[in-house]
Chain A
Amino acid sequence: GESVGLHLPTLSVQEGDNSIINCAYSNSASDYFIWYKQESGKGPQFIIDIRSNMDKRQGQRVTVLLNKTVKHLSLQIAATQPGDSAVYFCAVGDTGRRALTFGSGTRLQVQP
């Protein structure tokens, strides 16, 4: 079955630095990839998504990179702010299926 993993459980960065959070997935047939942010006591909040026909997508201060060759996904946050402190999950989906498969999460800590 699908498995999704993250490289680091905790990432600590200085305010203003760029952050990179990584994710690996195992199913080469996966074609939809999402990053969610989860703050304490809240549900996952959509950040950005990308489909398998793309390798890069940019949003406001965030960029998602997809490398299908090595089945790797990353989230880049520019000029990280204290409000970015949260747990970040990657999630993977397949066309025709409703289920999202979530990774185990990376905690981002932003030091002032």
Chain B
Amino acid sequence: EPEVTQTPSHQVTQMGQEVILRCVPISNHLYFYWYRQILGQKVEFLVSFYNNEISEKSEIFDDQFSVERPDGSNFTLKIRSTKLEDSAMYFCASSVGDLSYNEQFFGPGTRLTVL
């Protein structure tokens, strides 16, 4: 069964450093998403991406964040200068088509720890 994959599973970084989280969405999916989950809190939407551009983003997704689809398979989330409060699980998701008619498949997540 096709699945969303994410690397690394755990990333430890120093405050102020840049990190890139990587995702490989399911191959025939057209919409891609990033969510995060701070320990003990809700899963929160960050951004959605379609046709090589951001289609929607939340207030969390500020100028420190960026997303890219550098090739035909990878989807990345970059945090330019990490802060302590960026420590969280980051989930990538993908869906075939429009939200209302297609479920979002989630990857296993990357645990980001900012020291």
Please list the residues of chain A having a beta carbon within 8 angstroms of any beta carbon in chain B. 4, 31-32, 34, 36, 41-46, 49, 51, 89, 91, 93, 95, 97-105
Contact = CB atoms under 8 A, between A and B. Distances in A.
Contact of A105 (B35, B42, B105): B42
Contacts of A45: 106
Interface stretch (B13-21, B62-70, B73-81, B96-104): B96-104
Contacts of A89: 42-43
Interface of B: 4, 31, 33, 35, 41-45, 48, 50, 55-56, 58, 91, 93, 99-100, 103-109
Given A97-B56, A101-B45, A102-B43, A46 B104 contact: yes
Contacts of A43: 4, 91, 93, 106-109
Given A97-B56, A98-B55, 5 more contacts: A44-B106, A89-B42, A95-B100, A102-B44, A105-B42
